Amino acid sequence: MDIFSLIKTKSIEKNSCQFLKFFEYFYETYLIGYDMKSWNYYNNIEHITNNASESLNNSLNKLFPMKPNFYELINKLKEQEHLSYYDYQMKIKGIWRMKKKNKNKN
């Protein structure tokens, strides 16, 4: 017995008419004629949310609370590039640098 038949049988047993009507509508509208594999976008696209861009924006705002001049910008970005490369190299070696916890959070 497939899951649709099982749910339908249980709904009839419990006299859940409203749910049964909804379930039949759902089945006819979304399950017949649609490939359920296309429902899951996890493997189909690179990013579902904008978390990566929000994270980058947050880190840049922390680096540059005020608008830097050109040379400050270049120096700070070079420093960040170096730190990222250093972290990457250490992680390859199995050494993980722990982030310091901010004790002053309210």
Which residues, given as ranges, of the chain have pLDDT below 70? 1, 36-49, 97-106
Contact present, 80 and 63 (Cβ < 8 Å): yes
Nearest alpha-carbon partner for 27 in 48, 57, 6: 6
Q: Structure pTM?
A: 0.38
pLDDT at 37: 67
- At 82 the pLDDT is 87
Q: Provide the pLDDT for residue 46.
A: 63
